[in-house]
Structure 1
Amino acid sequence: MKRCSIVLHTHMPYVEGFGTWPFGEEWLWEAVATSYLPLLDVLDRHPGKVTLSITPVLADQLEAPGALDRCLRFLREIRPASHALDLPDHPQLEYSAHRYEQAADALERRGDLIAAFRPHVQWTSAATHAVLPLLATDAGLRLQVETGIASHRERFGAWHGGFWLPECAHAPWIDHLLEEAGVHVTCVDWTNVGVGDPRRTEAGIALVPLDRHGIDLVWDHRGYPSHGDYRDTNRLTAHAHQAWAVDGTAYDPERGHARARVDAERFVRDLTEGAVVAFDTELFGHHWHEGVTFLERVLELAHVVPVAVDDPAPAPAEVPPTSWGEGRDLRTWSAPRAGGIAWAQRRAELTALGTEAGPRALRELLALQSSDWAFQIANASAGEYPRERAEAHRAAFEAALVDGSSDELRNLAPNLADWAFVQP
């Protein structure tokens, strides 16, 4: 049985309470229905195998007052009504409608999703998924990392030093700050560095390179989800339902899920022994409908173990900043087509450094620092929504510095203590 490690990075931008459709909190409700709830069933059947992270900003939303009640209304009322409009022309959507009914039942049964995930979550991440090497100050990085770690401990209990670097963005100059916060192990995408085995930095952190070959079997545009049997997640009906297979025929769930099991067998056969592969959790179920079936079959066929490192060799002396973005560097979030968000984030951070920034200002800074806004601008995936969100948080940050507002930013970083935002 082939040995490997699977890291699932679970994250959504802070959309709860900020818009609905086509951009806003319906993203979160869809992820709950199509990814998180089905995945929880798989994790319960295969405990202790997957290395799972949940970002603090996602946990913030899942705990926000009234959030899951609105999600349930979406599943019980909005989705049945929209399916009813499309069913006369697309009878194959009966399957989809039933899946949403099942999701609503599962959400009512589980209730508290944080509690449901608690036995499975091992790693944490930065508070709002900031690209850490692009932050301007040590104080800014500490705010992101230490707030994220405190959030994990508050919600999930013991933490043993596993940390997901947002966007796999790493640079050597952040290592000592990560070690200072208690980080012991993280993943990097060193595809362009040419190092494939775990290495230990001077600060003592184990860096585990991801197996790009294994990831691309799934993630590449020619990967498994591109097969004609699978449900097409890009072609939509008039009311935004997925009624077709990739090959253009009416979607057949039996055919799609059978293909997922076949591809899982191929994946295990073709995967390198001992490989560490990582995926966004939302790929499974949300972006690749049959992905949860694929994942469970892999867990049945392979010897999947949590990420562990034994006495790695020293890291290379000079490693450039890396990520799993375009070019395997930081350009996805810092190049001109990202809209200058990185520089707005840095200006706000430096402004906070010279003031007595209160909790409200720091929460707005955290919200502004999310990597999601630059990513969505760069790939033009969400219209003006990310620009508007970033600008709103920047303006609210500046206003909070002036009026000293202590109002909460909904449920973002609810356990943020009085923070001395200073540069040592």
Structure 2
Amino acid sequence: MSGELAVVLHTHMPYVEGYGTWPFGEEWLWEAIATSYVPLLDVFEQHGDQLTLSVTPVLADQLEVADLGARFDTFVTEVRRRTHAADIEAAASPAEVEALRHSLASYESAAERMRALGGDLLGALAPHVAWTSSATHAVLPLLATDAGVRLQLQVGIDGHRRRFGAWDGGFWLPECAHDPALDLLLEEAGVHATCVDLTDTGLDPLRPLRSAAGPLLVPIDREIIELVWSQGGYPGGAAYRDTFRRTAHDHLAHAVDGTPYDPARAAAAARTDAADFVARVRERVAGGGLCVFAIDTELLGHWWHEGPQWLAAVLEEAGTQGLAVTRLDDALHRHEPAPAPDDLPVTTWGTPRDLTTWSAPSVADLAWAARDAELRVVAAGARADARAVRELLALQSSDWAFMTHRDLSAPYAHERVAGHREALETALSSVGSLSPAVRNLAPDASPAALLVP
């Protein structure tokens, strides 16, 4: 069988809606909508049958908020217009002014598209969403109990089915954190396939594995991913917009080589790099196999401004060069899996490929806080109301440890953990006296999964 490429886009945002604004909090959501989610809609509409889109339940929770469109519109019209105007006034050259006008135009375009959608971005994404994930992106191997894992799985899967209908069993393991001990729980929940990072195991990265418990373990292809997601990847090219050199008001007006940003120059670079990417994947799968190119959706647009253009060019170039690009669920019917080895280790896509990012001494307090909360809620069983369950799910998010370990917004992460932990204490000591809502987080949560023997 000839080889093929599966592009998997993992779309995720921790629950920030209503939890702080600039520089930490819900502005992250508005930025992701403006720079990634809306710009990618055209790619999904034109090439959705070739892409595998995963949306985490916790992101869907936020995109489901009733006034999402109005609040996003306010962010663009009252915040981004003002901050761009201030930077334009202070610009050092006409070329910088043009680059900032291009930046503002992209926000205005996103706002216009959201108005046309009636603010229903989730509805626009829905036809393309195939895979789900755990409720709040918990690192499942670090949970303390099977009941806690079942809760994350059930809430996430139930939410996906309510929102999107049919589900073929595709499940994104948060942080690609896989432990063979999870496989039976995944199988029980209806998971048929998930992605894993087996880079350092010596196993074939182009062939799926069949776990003893049932689910397919599909290796992501780190060699191909790093053409994009690495220090020397395409986004570091001279012509692309520099994500790290920012203006006084946090905008981007320069290319990586330091010159004022030129959109036409960057678009040409995106087409060139797309052709190079397709050629390299063709060579990679010349002898057969399944190349899984899996990245965070937010890399395309938010971290790499030209990412959506590049992806569209890849899909067009693949047709020109004769590279098959397919949805992962479809590809798995064509590639015979090998039996998973009995000694498969715990793996993630962290650095190194283990649980260190979420369990190292620097984040031990967060890991233990989440495990302690889980044990207390599981012990409470039927006495734990929906509010307590939601606060537990919020505590279990992988993002708090990631932010701390990488020194990215660590104070905000600790503030969120402390707040959810305090609310959990109140909920457990005052059953029935609090509203079951934690804004819109995990509306499908209930203690039922905790009661499974």
Alignment TM-score, normalising by the size of structure 2? 0.92
The answer to whether the aligner puts 1:3 opposite 2:10 as a matched pair is no
**Match for residue 413 of structure 1?**
442
Aligned pairs (5 A) from 1:254-269: 254-269=264-279
**Match for residue 258 of structure 2?**
248
Q: Which amino acid aligns with 2:240?
A: Y
- Structure 2: gaps of 5 or more residues: 319-323
Contact 1:62-1:68 within 8 A present in 2 as well: no
Q: CA deviation at 1:339?
A: 4.8
Q: Which amino acid aligns with 2:50?
A: K
Change in CA separation of 1:420 and 1:126 when aligned onto 2, cut-off 3 Å:
closer
- Residue 391 of structure 1: which of 408, 412, 418 is its match? 418
Q: CA deviation at 1:299?
A: 1.1
Q: CA deviation at 1:420?
A: 4.9
**Match for residue 117 of structure 2?**
110
**Match for residue 289 of structure 1?**
305
Contact 1:358-1:406 within 8 A present in 2 as well: no
Distance 1:105 1:30 in 2: 15
Report the count of equivalent residues.
Answer: 424
Q: CA deviation at 1:378?
A: 0.5
Contact 1:359-1:419 within 8 A present in 2 as well: no
Q: CA deviation at 1:319?
A: 1.2
Q: CA deviation at 1:383?
A: 4.0
Distance 2:202 2:452 in 1: 35
**Match for residue 72 of structure 1?**
73
- Residue 213 of structure 1: which of 223, 228, 251 is its match? 223
Q: CA deviation at 1:118?
A: 1.1
**Match for residue 244 of structure 2?**
234
Q: CA deviation at 1:422?
A: 3.5
What RMSD, in angstroms, separates the aligned Cα atoms of the two structures? 1.3
Q: Which amino acid aligns with 2:316?
A: E
Contact 2:394-2:420 within 8 A present in 1 as well: yes
Contact 1:2-1:268 within 8 A present in 2 as well: no
The answer to whether the aligner puts 1:169 opposite 2:194 as a matched pair is no
Q: Which amino acid aligns with 1:283?
A: L
Q: Deviations over 1:74-129 (max 9, x none)?
A: 11221111100010214020111111111110111122111101110000000000
- Residue 346 of structure 1: which of 371, 383, 389 is its match? 371
Contact 1:144-1:366 within 8 A present in 2 as well: yes
Identity of aligned residues (%): 56
Contact 1:48-1:305 within 8 A present in 2 as well: yes
Aligned pairs (5 A) from 1:313-392: 313-355=338-380, 356-392=383-419
Q: Deviations over 1:303-346 (max 9, x none)?
A: 21011324312101111110001111110000012252111111
Q: Which amino acid aligns with 2:429?
A: V
Distance 1:346 1:383 in 2: 19
**Match for residue 54 of structure 1?**
55
Distance 1:107 1:406 in 2: 31
Contact 1:179-1:205 within 8 A present in 2 as well: yes
Distance 1:36 1:124 in 2: 17
Q: Which amino acid aligns with 2:445?
A: L
Contact 1:83-1:241 within 8 A present in 2 as well: yes
SS at match of 2:352: helix
Contact 1:64-1:410 within 8 A present in 2 as well: no
Q: CA deviation at 1:406?
A: 3.6
Change in CA separation of 1:97 and 1:414 when aligned onto 2, cut-off 3 Å:
same
SS at match of 1:421: helix
Q: CA deviation at 1:47?
A: 2.4
SS at match of 1:186: strand
Alignment TM-score, normalising by the size of structure 1? 0.98
Q: Deviations over 1:195-242 (max 9, x none)?
A: 122110111110010111000000011111111111011111011101
Structure 1 range deviating more: 41-50 or 53-62: 41-50
Contact 1:256-1:290 within 8 A present in 2 as well: yes
- Residue 156 of structure 2: which of 148, 160, 172 is its match? 148
**Match for residue 321 of structure 2?**
none
Contact 1:131-1:167 within 8 A present in 2 as well: yes
